Structure 1
């Protein structure tokens, strides 16, 4: 599994509380020239996804006051006095929608001061419960602390919205947080089975190969190689202060992990091999969404990895 430990200035949104992850990686897939990745069709097969129904993720939104009970893996709406709040429990399916939310601090007031992490003050993710429909967005904040994430069309089903941030003042200054809430997109939902684990994936002519044998709770070296049309790729461009951005979700509960490569930047000359130090606390299948930039275009690919 691809997990990389990073300094406090780089948000560590790990799949289990208190677990450090160290990682280096590369990815392939859907093209987008914007710094945000919003892909309503980013499904298990790399093509436009059909509607999806809730998987095993329990939604505490259905129980008033209980959302905060999940305490790790990004599945809670509250941690250390900070809370992710939103009045929206549903969003219309099939069309673009704005999701508005606020982060409140231990004093109950909206937080407006956030540290820059990977060039952004807020990283926002949307994932459907069957781990399809991945979207990675950098929302805008109003003066009163209200954030607006412009989501691409959602397909019917249960979704989880993750906010990843670091306060730059107060009790949580310098601490990385990942908080989340569930949202329903009404309509007939059909679950998409998770593809089997694989050591490589191919999208947009790029092939990403992963070498390593991750084991839960143990550190392992990991190497990711990127090629195109059989030739090594050496022109990866920086994206969010790194050569590859990786977000991972655990099958069954949609537990969240935000992973980063350890390879140092060297202009527009990243690749073909990226080295990772992987440590993942939870066994099972993880769906990875890998992002990298070439020629000014952001590519994203999905891959299932098995952690023993």
Structure 2
């Protein structure tokens, strides 16, 4: 091999190394930067897989918008709990097999807890307290007899899924004679506490889109919505039949008193059919919960 050939190959290697260095610099010095470090989700007891993350108005990773929330275990995190009277006591076990005690706040709270009966009545949204050992207590209002599903929505700050929003759930049966509540027909508006809530938009199953919520009272637009969980309204949906869960993320953050009357939400509902929507908003220090049924096309 001639010295000229050797020199050319050396120069080529140096050039390739320079290109690689520039590429890594453009992507971040850590080649894993920007990737989801949680890895593939483990199969759950109910056969549902982890879906992608979404983000709230502050950019904080939030519960996965496409996750159905019907699994008790995802990505190595497991929900276990039981009713104790009207309270639900539970733990989240991390991938290391120990109760998780490190959580990242999501919309100001480390844990969002929901309860809904199988007929989509009796909605409750709580922010439970955690003991130092990782045991959470959700003080539910009295549950009517029937089958219930209980959801824990959180962002772990430890383990392989650190920073990834999760929604896990368990079922519980409340003894007694259950009287089913018929699901109200789909409607564009409803009233609660004298307020009229109207929802507009044409969502399709599995397709990201926007729902717009408007709040009025006595025929006039409401412009005095107060901040609630860093936004002017909180919107949760449950699918008729299987109780699949969806959190519709607000597209604007609360910047002070005086929100409304129109509130845009990022919507990605994973299945067609009827969804029961629960909109929570605050005025004059009072929290209101409006409910209506939305039909989602395939």
Q: Same fold (TM over 0.5)?
A: yes
Residues 112-154 of structure 1 show CA distances to partners (whole Å, capped at 9, x for unaligned) of 0111111111111111000001111111100110001111101
Q: How does 1:1-308 map to 2 (within 5 A)?
A: 5-7=54-56, 9-14=60-65, 16-17=66-67, 73-86=68-81, 88=82, 97-308=86-297
Residues 24-52 of structure 1 show CA distances to partners (whole Å, capped at 9, x for unaligned) of xxxxxxxxxxxxxxxxxxxxxxxxxxxxx
How much has 1:91 moved relative to structure 2?
A: 5.6
TM-score, length of structure 2 as denominator length: 0.78
TM-score, length of structure 1 as denominator length: 0.75
**In 1, Cα distance between equivalents of 2:115 and 2:212:** 27
3-state SS of 2:103 partner: coil
Residues 148/221 of structure 1: CA separation in 2 closer, same or farther (3 Å cut): closer
Larger RCO (CA within 8 A; separation ≥ 6): 1
Q: Which runs of 4+ in 1 moved over 3 A?
A: none
Give the CA RMSD over aligned residues.
1.6
Greater share of helix residues, 1 or 2?
Answer: 2
Q: How many residues are treated as equivalent by the alignment?
A: 243
- Contact 1:12–1:259, Cα closer than 8 Å, also in 2: no
Structure 1: runs of 5 or more not aligned: 18-72
| Higher Cα radius of gyration | 2
**In 2, Cα distance between equivalents of 1:155 and 1:221:** 34
Q: Which residue of 1 aligns with 2:17?
A: none
**In 1, Cα distance between equivalents of 2:254 and 2:179:** 42
- Contact 2:122–2:143, Cα closer than 8 Å, also in 1: yes
